[in-house]
Amino acid sequence: MSDARLHSPAAARNRQPILKVLRQVLPERARILEVASGSGEHALYCAGAMPGWHWQPSDPTDEALASIAAWRETAALPNLAAPRHLDATEPDGWPAESFDAIVAINLLHISPWAVTEALMARAGERLVPGGTLYLYGPYRRGGEHTAPSNAAFDASLRRHDPRWGVRDLEAVVAEATCHGLELERVMDMPANNLSVVLVRGQALSTA
């Protein structure tokens, strides 16, 4: 029987730095939705390190869902939920419940801009007041790439699909602001990536 588990070298490299940031910005107990979980290795690593986090992985592809399920079966972590199919651009496909955090790792640059728009809109709806949207990946700042390697990467992405590409951080934050999300911090990460932490504003008082 073949092993459905996928292995991502990038996930192996960046999972520890990502977990370090998530520990700084999230409480010890939290309900977390990961969008575009890919191989499932981040879900496995973070859920294993933080038993108080209930981690809901998701992905739009059958191959990724099978990998996540296989990793989950191997680890048997009680706080790692079964993966669910989720296409970010389908509003009815999102979980109905609220989350303390939504995590998207290396998603925005390998998807059309419509995915960014949908992610911000749904985060504005599904995050609890004060909840966190965490983004990880490469970004342009002030219209410029932060490293020559990112410029080359951007060019290769756009050759693969003209709708893809390294996003302008300012445009991402502006889209988030339209849906009640506020930029809390930006942190430099390995390999010229950034951690972008956005927070949903508190609910307005009805008094």
- Split into its structural domains, the chain has a count of 1
The rounded distance, in Å, linking the Cα atoms of 187 and 136 is 10
Inside any domain, residue 18: yes
What's the CA gap between 2 and 97, in Å, rounded? Answer: 35
**Is residue 1 in some structural domain?**
no
Which residues does 79 contact at the CB level (< 8 Å), separation at least 6? 47, 50, 51, 52, 53, 54, 55
pTM: 0.95
Per-residue pLDDT of 65-113, as tens digits, reads 999 999 999 999 999 999 999 999 999 999 999 999 999 999 999 999 9
Distance in angstroms (rounded) separating the CA atoms of residues 159 and 44: 32
Residue 206 domain flag? no
Q: Residue 64 belongs to a domain with what CATH number?
A: 3.40.50.150
Q: What are the C-alpha distances in Å from 27 to residues 24, 50, 75, 82, 171?
A: 8, 10, 23, 22, 28
CB 88 within 8 A of CB 119: yes
Q: pLDDT by residue (tens digit) across 24-52?
A: 999 999 999 999 999 999 999 999 999 99
**Tens-digit pLDDT profile for residues 84-94:** 999 999 999 99
Residue 4: inside a domain, yes or no?
Answer: no
147: how many CB neighbours lie within 10 A of its CB?
Answer: 12
> Does 3 reside within a domain?
no
Does residue 205 form part of some domain? no
Domain containing 87 equals: 9-200
